[in-house]
């Protein structure tokens, strides 16, 4: 299952009415025998298995060449690619739905949120609310699709004299029934505002949402499931150098706790060896102590209390019933969720390497408090 299946056409994705991850239902990843503290673990690559209320997680890492005058790749790189549906890694990168500029031209969403964590490179955003932005190099965009929005997410190759590496995570977080039809909204979490917790010189925690070691950070849109601390949503990236240790406490609440070890050569977790390129779903009632014995490691943590409502997913729409999905398709056909007023479907914002967000009310926001 590739991300293209969510965008290539409404009607191509089967429905599911369970509270489990859409991707786990099809069992794309083989489950392995687990230690007592581990519910199960699975091998990861591009798209990762998730637990409710998370619906989707993908790790994009593309080493694009220098950009051409259109901020895309030269035509010499087109050979051997399924242009417009390029999801196979070739020469170190994918074009996805882009035909010159890599990325995801205009597509709709309803009923959930997207959380886009950009570690390297830049993303150009445009949407049917009239909002726009360019963000990257550690920034996070948190978008509540709510009742419906169209947006594009393009990866302009701004450097014409050197390679353009793009690395990002995109996470989909479900909305509870009461918030599925709220007005669309988004917030920018600029890199310099995201807490970096450094207990020592071997450990760094980027706290994108949640609480760790007495520090809290929840700068989400107001209708997000994560906005309520009682839901215990934790999203954090952890860097652990060789010889470093990381302790993660047990929870009094029953939570879905997922760790994704995407970099390194393996860790000891409560004396059990866990290799890299693994998603590990831990028992949240157990204290975890992670020890890195070899090369530097990195992992992503996704944790939350479950929403425990029916999930019906149909491509880019996530609702609670089939009837609501049918209504969503009719609404989209009738309204296009506000239409598309931008001059191109793969909208980009020029050559200037400047991060900004323009909101539907005209407010302009930039990192470093340069706002107007």
Question: Where does the pLDDT of residue 368 fall: very low under 50, low under 70, confident under 90, or very high at 90 and above?
Answer: confident
Which residue, of 136, 169, 193, is where some domain finishes?
193
93, pLDDT greater than 50: yes
CATH number at residue 134: 2.60.120.10
Helix (H) or strand (E) holding 329: helix 322-335
User: What local confidence, expressed as pLDDT, does residue 3 receive?
Assistant: 55
Residues 235 and 104 in one domain: no
CB atoms within 10 A of CB 26: 11
Residue with the two structure tokens 């977790």: 269
Asked, for residue 121, whether it belongs to a domain, the answer is yes
The two structure tokens encoding residue 327? 């209504």
Q: Are residues 149 and 208 in the same domain?
A: no
263 plus 163 within the same structural domain: no
What pLDDT shows up at residue 5? 46
- Does residue 157 fall inside a structural domain? yes
Q: How many structural domains compose the chain?
A: 2
Of the listed ranges 21-35, 198-212, 319-333, the one predicted with least confidence? 21-35
Residue 101 is assigned to a structural domain of this protein: yes
Closest CA to 26 of 254, 313, 300: 313
**What's the pLDDT score for residue 35?**
61
Give me the percent of the chain exceeding a pLDDT of 90.
Answer: 88
Spatial separation of the C-alpha atoms in residues 8 and 165, rounded to whole Å: 25
For residue 222, being part of any structural domain is answered with: yes
pLDDT of 36 reads 82
Last residue of a domain, one of 153, 168, 193: 193
pTM, two decimals, is 0.91
Using pLDDT thresholds of 50, 70 and 90, give the confidence band for residue 341.
very high
Q: What's the pLDDT score for residue 293?
A: 87
148 and 126, same structural domain?
yes
Same-domain status, 139 and 70: yes
Q: Which domain holds residue 304?
A: 195-308
Neighbours of 181 (CB within 10 A): 16
- 15-27 pLDDT, tens digit per residue, is 343 334 443 433 3
**60 is a domain residue:** yes
pLDDT band at 12 (very low <50, low <70, confident <90, very high): very low
The reply to whether 173 falls in a domain is: yes
Looking at the domain assignment, is residue 4 inside a domain?
Answer: no
Structure tokens at 177: 């029934």
Confidence check: pLDDT of 34 > 70: no
228 in the same domain as 165: no
The tens digit of pLDDT for each residue in 185-198 reads 999 999 999 999 99
**Distance between first and last Cα of the chain:** 42
In a domain, 10, yes or no: no
Boundary-marking domain end, from 256, 280, 308:
308
Q: How many CB atoms lie within 10 A of CB 326?
A: 12
């Amino acid at each position: 299952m590739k991300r293209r299946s969510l965008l290539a056409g409404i009607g191509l994705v089967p429905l599911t009415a369970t509270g489990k991850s859409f991707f786990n239902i099809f069992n794309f990843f083989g489950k392995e025998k687990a230690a007592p503290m581990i519910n199960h673990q699975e091998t990861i690559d591009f798209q990762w298995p998730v637990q409710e209320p998370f619906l989707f997680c993908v790790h994009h890492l593309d080493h694009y060449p220098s950009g051409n005058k259109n901020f895309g790749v030269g035509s010499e790189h087109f050979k051997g690619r399924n242009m417009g549906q390029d999801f196979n890694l070739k020469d170190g990168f994918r074009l996805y739905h882009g035909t010159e500029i890599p990325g995801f031209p205009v597509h709709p969403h309803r009923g959930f949120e997207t959380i886009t964590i950009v570690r390297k490179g830049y993303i150009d955003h445009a949407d049917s609310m009239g909002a726009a932005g360019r963000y990257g190099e550690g920034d996070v965009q948190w978008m509540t699709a709510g009742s419906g929005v169209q947006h594009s997410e393009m990866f302009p190759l701004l450097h014409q004299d050197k390679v353009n590496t793009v690395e990002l995570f995109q996470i989909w977080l479900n909305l509870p029934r009461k918030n599925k039809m709220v007005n669309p909204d988004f917030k920018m979490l600029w890199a310099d505002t995201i807490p970096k917790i450094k207990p020592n010189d071997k450990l760094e925690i980027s706290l994108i949402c949640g609480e760790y070691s007495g520090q809290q950070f929840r700068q989400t849109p107001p209708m997000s499931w994560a906005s309520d601390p009682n839901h215990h949503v934790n999203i954090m990236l952890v860097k652990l150098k060789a010889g470093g240790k990381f302790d993660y406490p047990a929870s009094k609440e029953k939570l879905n706790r997922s760790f994704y070890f995407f970099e390194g050569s393996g860790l000891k977790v409560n004396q059990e060896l866990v290799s890299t390129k693994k998603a590990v779903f831990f028992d949240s009632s157990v204290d975890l102590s992670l020890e890195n014995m070899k090369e530097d490691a990195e992992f992503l943590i996704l944790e939350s209390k479950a929403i425990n409502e029916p999930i019906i997913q149909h491509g880019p729409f996530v609702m609670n019933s089939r009837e609501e999905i049918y209504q969503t398709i009719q609404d989209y056909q009738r309204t296009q969720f506000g239409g598309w007023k931008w001059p191109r479907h793969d909208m980009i914002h020029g050559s200037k390497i400047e991060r900004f967000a323009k909101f539907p009310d005209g407010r302009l926001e930039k990192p470093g408090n340069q706002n107007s």
